[in-house]
Structure 1
Amino acid sequence: MGKIVVSQNITLDGVVEDPSGEGGFRHGGWFQQFMDQDWEAWAELELAEAQGAEALLLGRRSDEYFATRTSILSGEWVDALNRLPKYVVSATLQEPEWTNATVLTGEVVSEVSKLKQRIRGELVVYASRPLVRTLMEHDLVDELRLTVFPVVLGAGERLFGETSDKRPLRLIHTKTVGNGLAHLTYERAREA
């Protein structure tokens, strides 16, 4: 059985909205602005994660975002991402944008549960905030890997929205990335 891993760049107050600044959010662009000299260490972390993944699981907008960027960028990380099988959850998408991708068009929880049974390794979820919320709500996330940027935005869409109940997690690893980023790994606590 596969393991669903949510990998997310996030601010200290949980905001994930518009890290690149391309979305028009007034506090957008925080990823580059607060990366400082940590770029190389962050890139190493991301490359190792991509090399350890079995596949990517994405929402439609994340498929479009990554497809656009990976078609014009190069490097080991981009090459690793392009090689991975991708599963895009969407009710409207006919053809995925990114290479080596399959669209999952059925009911999200059912489709992802079936996929989790078929895949043996890690299914990594990048970005895809609505998908992450659905997966969390239905206890399908096995691990969270959060790279925390040293900024409080005070506004913006956060990774987690309201849930029907508490979702207990257990911290299993911490790491400083470069000089200013924290990488926190949590697993789902099976029993609280």
Structure 2
Amino acid sequence: MLKVQEIRELIKLVDQSSIDEFVYENEGSKIKMKKNVLSTVTTIQPITPAAVDIAPTIQTIPVETSAPVAQVQETKQETAKVEPSNQVDIVNLLKITSPMVGTFYASPTPDTDVYVRSGSKVSKDSIVCIVEAMKLFNEIEAEVNGEIVEVLVKNGQLVEYGQPLFLVKPE
């Protein structure tokens, strides 16, 4: 099994090379990396003064990026409308982030209740979730006293290092 540092070196080598896809299999483990992922860029042509009554033309152009990715997921993020009175509270919220890459689990087993949900009170040593990495189940502690305001990921979702998992209102 590869160590995390070896995986990082592989990512760096794939990024610097001209190959677009890399697959490594060993003892039941598989690592797959791809780069030059197809993205979409939208350009809008401005209206000229001579054609005021004609709508702008919109073009969608596929563009290739060269950033290596382990897995590509398209997500739509909708802009949240924030009331001016709530903006101060949002600024003061703390984030509980993932300390590693892995799979997020909200409960210890599929048939038990979740560790925390919105409105749950947590202390520094409260377990808020599990992140499974390389078949090891790591209990994640809140490391802050407060109240969970929002759970930012879904059960079974892949999470990255440093990705926010929860928003907490500190006490």
**Interval containing the TM-score (normalised by the shorter chain):** under 0.3
TM-score by length of 2: 0.23
More helix by share: 1
Greater RCO (Cα-Cα under 8 Å, separation 6 or more):
1
More strand by share: 2
TM-score by length of 1: 0.21
Query: Which has more radius of gyration?
Result: 2
